[in-house]
């Protein structure tokens, strides 16, 4: 028996139809995972579904409002990072290469550097820039072997 059939036993046919009508496969999987997880629920399946879909849609809207960092801007920030904080830049590359993760203190320092470098953006915009800097660090690591 497939997990979809297992889920169909515990989720009402009406709600299952709403879940299957969702366009995004990742959202469908996420909703089914939450609804089929063990544990006591304090709200109805329908409320869980509505909350998950609303949160998903809100996050989708937020992503579309982020500043669209262009490659040249991201590279300009990387150059700024290298010149302003050379030791931290080297450590950033090391952490990305060795751990595939940047510790919170260093991440915070880089975010604050970005906020001073381009101060008129929203806090979430810097998160996206941090991702671009990590992409750059990965490409540097791959190029150096």
Per-residue pLDDT reduced to its tens digit, 35-82? 888 877 788 999 999 999 999 998 888 778 888 888 899 999 999 999
86: left (phi over 0), alpha (psi -120 to 50) or beta: alpha
Residue 60 DSSP label: H
What pLDDT shows up at residue 103? 93
pTM beyond 0.85: no
3-state secondary structure at position 56 = helix
Please report, to the nearest 10 degrees, the dihedral formed by the alpha carbons of residues 90, 91, 97, 101 taken in order: -140
Residue 7 has pLDDT above 70, yes or no: no
Per-residue pLDDT reduced to its tens digit, 126-144? 888 888 888 888 888 778 7
Task: Compute the distance between CA of residue 114 and CA of residue 68 in angstroms, rounded to an integer.
Answer: 15
C-beta separation of 118 from 76 below 8 A: no
């Amino acid at each position: 028996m497939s997990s979809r059939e297992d889920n169909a036993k515990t989720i009402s046919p009406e709600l299952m139809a709403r879940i299957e009508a969702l366009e995004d496969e990742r959202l469908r999987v996420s909703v089914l995972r939450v609804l089929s997880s063990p544990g006591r629920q304090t709200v109805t399946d329908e409320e869980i579904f509505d909350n998950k879909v609303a949160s998903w849609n809100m996050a989708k809207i937020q992503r579309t409002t982020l500043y669209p960092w262009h490659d040249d801007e991201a590279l300009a920030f990387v150059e700024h990072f290298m010149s302003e904080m050379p030791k931290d830049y080297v450590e950033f590359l090391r952490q990305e290469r060795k751990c595939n993760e940047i510790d919170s203190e260093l991440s915070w320092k880089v975010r604050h550097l970005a906020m001073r470098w381009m101060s008129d953006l929203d806090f979430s915009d810097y998160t996206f820039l941090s991702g671009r800097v990590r992409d750059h660090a990965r490409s540097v690591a791959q190029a150096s072997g």
